[in-house]
């Protein structure tokens, strides 16, 4: 694994001097619990690891130490009436062969030290399991950072569901950690306008994808302008997939975001994390799964969730 070079080192020095305020996020405990519709019988979710990344703990949350291994998941949701839906596309398959060529300077400088084994990309894993990748109806993308949007163009028949603000930002004024070639060829967008939606618990807007309460898309901007999270209402219990609103359980426990310069708007990211903490406080039965931390799923076995194992062979 390549070390985190000058950008993270410089950011670490700045954070030591308080230039990136990372105080604990305040949140309200007065939010009313949400009421979900009856779960759809037969719906299930599968989880795929599409790569790996290890970064310094201090970059992940306030007080972080050592190295933290960041899960890189893509989720496949099987709805008995609607069909197959994915949340996150995972890494592009090019990460397995030449990540620096694909990602450019953000990988060369160690800013995004991503790795992937051949055949570990989402599409290849589906094919290996005998699933037809072209049968995916929708891919919901939390935001346009490479480990989330990277493989969308490898699913040309799927509709790509996003917050319209993410498409606008990604096309007109992308941040340094966007790789435009990963998504600029997408033709079949479905762009949600959350200004036309209602609140959902502590969150400012939500969209019911299927119309039966089984998959709710939540507006959680900050990490990027159009960041979304997804609540999957399974029979064994509802699961909130946060995306990068919270990278790991450490962010939730410490009530702190990752280094703010990694987000488009650090203050908005803090607000969204505060909304998540308020939501968790008022809805303790809902399982919260951070964007790069599958440990909540590993600890709590649910009959309608399966995590596909991936074992990396040491090439040394």
CA distance 298 to 307: 8
Look at residue 119 in the predicted model and tell me its pLDDT: 97
- Angstrom distances, CA of residue 298 to CA of 44, 79, 172, 289, 294: 16, 22, 39, 10, 6
> What pLDDT sits at residue 22?
62
Instruction: Give me the pLDDT at residue 109, please.
Output: 86
Token code pair at residue 207: 């969209």
How many other CB atoms are there within 10 angstroms of residue 99's CB atom? 23
Res 259: pLDDT: 84
**What pLDDT, on the 0 to 100 scale, is given for residue 298?**
96
Question: With contact defined as beta carbons under 8 Å apart, do 227 and 221 qualify?
Answer: yes
> What's the pLDDT score for residue 315?
53
pLDDT of residue 25: 86
The closest of 192, 5, 16 to 106, measured between CA atoms, is 5
Q: Which residue segments constitute the domains of the chain, with CATH numbers given?
A: 36-304 (3.60.15.10)
3-state secondary structure 120-167: CCHHHHHHHCCCCHHHEEEEECCCCCHHHHCCHHHCCCCEEEEEHHHH
Whole-angstrom CA distances from 60 to 66, 70, 226, 315 are 11, 10, 21, 28
pTM: predicted TM-score of the whole model, two decimal places: 0.92
Instruction: From first to last of the 316 residues of the chain, give the pLDDT tens digit.
Output: 344 444 444 444 444 433 445 667 878 777 889 999 999 999 999 999 999 999 999 999 999 999 999 999 999 999 999 999 999 999 999 999 999 999 998 898 888 899 999 999 999 999 999 999 999 999 999 999 999 999 999 999 999 999 999 999 999 999 899 999 999 999 999 999 999 999 999 999 999 999 999 999 999 999 999 999 999 999 999 999 999 999 999 999 999 998 877 888 989 999 999 999 999 999 999 999 999 999 999 999 899 999 999 977 665 4
């Amino acid at each position: 694994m390549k070390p985190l070079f000058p950008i993270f080192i410089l950011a670490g020095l700045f954070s030591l001097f308080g230039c990136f305020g990372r105080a604990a996020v305040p949140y309200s405990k007065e939010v009313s619990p949400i009421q979900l519709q009856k779960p759809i019988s037969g719906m299930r979710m599968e989880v795929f690891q599409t790569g790996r990344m290890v970064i310094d703990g201090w970059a992940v949350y306030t007080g972080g130490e050592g190295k933290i291994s960041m899960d890189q998941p893509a989720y496949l949701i099987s709805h008995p009436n609607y069909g197959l839906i994915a949340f996150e596309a995972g890494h592009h398959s090019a990460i397995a062969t030449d990540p620096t060529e694909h990602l450019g300077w953000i990988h060369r400088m160690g800013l995004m030290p991503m790795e992937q084994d051949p055949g570990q990309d989402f599409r290849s894993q589906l094919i290996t399991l005998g699933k037809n990748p072209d049968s995916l109806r929708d891919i919901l993308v939390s935001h346009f950072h490479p480990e989330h949007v990277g493989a969308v163009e490898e699913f040309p028949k799927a509709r790509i569901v996003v917050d319209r603000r993410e498409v606008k930002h990604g096309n007109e004024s992308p941040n340094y950690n966007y790789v435009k070639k990963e998504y600029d060829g997408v033709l079949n967008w479905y762009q949600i306008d959350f200004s036309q939606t209602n609140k959902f618990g502590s969150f400012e807007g939500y969209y019911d994808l299927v119309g039966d309460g089984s998959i709710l898309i939540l507006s959680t901007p900050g990490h990027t302008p159009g960041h979304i999270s997804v609540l999957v209402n399974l029979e064994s219990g509802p699961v909130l997939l946060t995306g990068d609103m919270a990278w790991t359980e450490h962010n939730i426990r410490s009530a702190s975001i990752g280094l703010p310069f990694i987000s488009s708007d650090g203050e908005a990211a803090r607000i969204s994390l505060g909304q998540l903490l308020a939501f968790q406080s008022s809805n303790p039965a809902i399982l919260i799964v951070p964007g790069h931390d599958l440990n909540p799923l590993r600890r709590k076995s649910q009959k309608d969730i399966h995590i596909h194992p991936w074992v990396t062979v040491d090439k040394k």
